[in-house]
Structure 1
Amino acid sequence: MRKNQLTSTLMTGVLVTCAVLITAAVVKREFLPSAAAAPGPDLRPRKLQNTAALAQTGQVMGRPDAPVKIVEFSDFQCPFCARAQEVIEKVRRRHPDRVAVVFRHFPLDAIHPHARTAAMASECAAEQGRFHAYHDALFARQDSIGTRAWEAFAADAGLRDLPAFRQCVDSRRHAGAVERDARVAAELGLQVTPSLIVNGELRPGLPTEEDLERWVLAGGR
C-alpha cells in the first residue's frame, strides 16, 4: 500500500511539474519576444540607383581612374571587415588597372565604441597621404584599438608629422566627414559591415574571394 501511495505521489508530482513547464512555455511564447523569431539583417543583394555618385566621396585605394570601383562601407573594429580587407586587397592587387576601392565609414557605435575615433584618425592620416597605410595598420592590430595610442598606429603607417596628426585627432576635425558617411549608410538601409557596392549592386556581408572576383569581372552579377 505504501508503495502504491508513493508511486501515486510521484506521478502526481511529475504531472504537476509538466503542467507548470507547459504553462511557462505558452506564456513565454505568447507574451515574451522570441530570440529565434527576431529578424536578422537582410543580406540579400540588391540593385542601387546612381551608385556612381557614391564613389565620388571617400578615400580611394588604387587607381582613381580604375573602371571598377568597389565602394566599401566599413568599421575599423569590425572583425568581418578585417577579414574582408584581406579578400578585397587580393582582388584589387590581381587587377590593379581595373579595380579600386572607395572606403567609406560606417562605425557601429553601439558595439564598437572606438570605431568612430579610429575613422577620424584615418582621415587625419589621409592629410599626410597615408590613409591606406593607416587603414592597414588598424586592421593589422585591430585587437589593440582603444588601448593603443593613435600615434602608435600612425608610426606604423609611416606618418612623418606625428604632432600634427595628434592635433588633428584631438580636434575631431573630421567628425563631419565620418558622420556624413554614416548618414549615407543609414539612408541606403545598410545593416551590417562590411557592405560592398560593386557595379551597381549592394552586397552586404563578408564576401569570398571567388565571389568578389566574379562580381568584379561579370559586372556585379
Structure 2
Amino acid sequence: MAKQNYQPPRLTLPVGERDHIEGPSDARMVLVEYGDYQCPYCGAAYPIVKKVQKELGTKLRFIFRNFPITTSHPQAEWAAETAEAAAAQGRFWEMHDFLYENQASLADHGVFANYAKKLKLDVKRLEQEVAQHVHLGRVREDFMGGVKSGVNGTPTFFIGGARYDGYPGFGPLIAALEKTEKG
C-alpha cells in the first residue's frame, strides 16, 4: 500500500485588517495562533511565543485569534471579550499579555478592571462592552474561522498558512518558521 503524503489543514480565514498583528506586513515568517486565555497549554506556550518573537524580531509577523473552549474553560470567553474591548481602545496587546500573565486570576474580574485603569482605558466603557457582549461576534468569528481551518484544541499554530502539528517548543517553532522562510 502506497504511503500518502499528509497535507496539514490550511488557514481558511486569511490574515487581514481585522486581525491583531505584531510585526511588519512584509515579514517572510508568519505565525498565527488560535488561543484560549484560560487554557493551561496556551499559558505555557505564551512565554515561548514571546521568546520566538524576540529571537526573530522584524522577520516575524505574529497574529493572535481567539478560540475560547467554553466547555472546559468558563472564563475564556469573558477573557477574549475583555481583550477585544481593550482592542477597541487601542490596547489589545497589553491586555492580551496581562490576561496570560495573570491566568490564575481570571475569575477575579476586578484585577483586570484595575489593570485597565493603569492602561488609562475607559474602564466603565470596557466593562459595559464586556457585559453587553459587544465584541462576542468578533470572538465567535475567530472561533468559527478556527474550526473551518481544522483547529480542534489550543493552542493551535499556523505557519505560512499551514497548521503546525509539531511540538510548540522554542526550538521546533523556530525551525518550522525558518523552513518556511527558505521556501
TM-score class, shorter:
0.7 to 0.9
Counterpart pick for 2:24 among 63, 84, 106: 63
Q: What does 1:95-110 correspond to in 2, within 5 Å? A: 95-110=56-71
The count of aligned residue pairs is 175
Flag the 1:135–1:71 CA change in 2: closer, same or farther, 3 A.
Answer: same
Quote the offset at 1:187 in angstroms.
1.8
- C-alpha separation in 2, matches of 1:207 and 1:187: 21
> Where does residue 126 of structure 2 map in the other structure?
165
Return the TM-score normalized by structure 1: 0.72
> Where does residue 27 of structure 1 map in the other structure?
none
Residues 188-214 of structure 1 deviation map (CA, whole Å, 9 limit, x = unaligned): 232210000001321247501000111
Residues 3-35 of structure 1 deviation map (CA, whole Å, 9 limit, x = unaligned): xxxxxxxxxxxxxxxxxxxxxxxxxxxxxxxxx
> Where does residue 187 of structure 1 map in the other structure?
148
Give identity over the alignment, percent: 28
Q: Is the 8 A contact 1:125 1:159 kept in 2?
A: no
Q: What does 1:107-122 correspond to in 2, within 5 Å? A: 107-122=68-83
Relative contact order, higher structure (CA 8 A, sep 6+): 2
Quote the offset at 1:52 in angstroms.
8.0
Q: Is the 8 A contact 2:21 2:63 kept in 1?
A: yes
Residues 164-207 of structure 1 deviation map (CA, whole Å, 9 limit, x = unaligned): 22222122111101111111122223221000000132124750
Query: Deviation above 6 Å: which 4+ runs of structure 1?
Result: none
Counterpart of 1:77 in 2: which secondary structure? coil
Aligned-residue CA RMSD in angstroms? 2.2
The aligned amino acid for 1:102 is: I
Counterpart of 2:158 in 1: which secondary structure? strand
